[in-house]
């Protein structure tokens, strides 16, 4: 059995999946960011129930984005360890930002939820654009 600290080199199936995923990742990140802006706006307008439902529905989409980051991070690490580390750091930062929503959601502090969505989650998702092109190039060259 493989150690959890060991990174398995990507096989051709991983590489093909990563290349396909990177092609639509930036538009997906933009979609997520826009969705969270809209949800924050709903909270500010008092549309609490639809906004909270939308946040819950977005959990699966965020999970898919994080899975994508794991896949491309592993493939990128094999080609360029520095880029792989950047992807891992981005993923970790995004995860921490999302987890920071939990206390506000649990306490139903909807003003804080709206602020965290708009000021932290959206900005974190938008920061993906900074690593997208290097990722696309690395995957194309791999």
Percent of the chain with pLDDT over 70: 92
| Arithmetic mean of pLDDT, 94-105 | 95
pLDDT, position 8: 54
With helix as H, strand as E and coil as C, how does the chain read?
CCCCCCCCCCCHHHHHHHHHHHHHHHHHHHHHHHHHHHHHHHHHHCCHHHHHHHHHHHHHHHHHHHHHHHHHHHHHHHHCHHHHHHHHHHHHHHHHHHHCHHHHHHCCCHHHHHHHHHHHHHHHHHCCHHHHHHHHHHHHHC
| Arithmetic mean of pLDDT, 45-74 | 93
Q: Share the mean pLDDT of the chain.
A: 89
Reported as a single tens digit per residue, the pLDDT across 3-44 is 445 545 556 787 788 888 888 999 999 999 999 999 999 999
State pTM to two decimals. Answer: 0.85
| Arithmetic mean of pLDDT, 93-105 | 95
| Arithmetic mean of pLDDT, 94-101 | 95
Domains of the chain (ranges plus CATH)?
14-141 (1.20.120)
């Amino acid at each position: 059995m493989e150690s959890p600290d060991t990174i398995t080199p990507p096989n051709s199936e991983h590489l093909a999946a990563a290349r396909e995923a990177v092609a639509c990742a930036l538009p997906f990140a933009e979609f997520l960011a826009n969705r969270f802006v809209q949800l924050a706006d709903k909270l500010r307008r008092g549309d609490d129930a639809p906004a909270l439902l939308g946040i819950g529905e977005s959990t699966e989409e965020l999970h898919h984005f994080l899975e994508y980051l794991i896949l491309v991070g592993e493939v990128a690490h094999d080609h360029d360890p520095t880029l792989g580390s950047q992807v891992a750091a981005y993923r970790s930062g995004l995860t921490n930002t999302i987890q920071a929503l939990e206390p506000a959601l649990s306490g139903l502090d909807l003003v804080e939820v709206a602020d965290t969505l708009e000021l932290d989650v959206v900005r974190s998702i938008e920061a993906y654009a900074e690593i997208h092109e290097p990722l696309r190039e690395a995957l194309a060259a791999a």
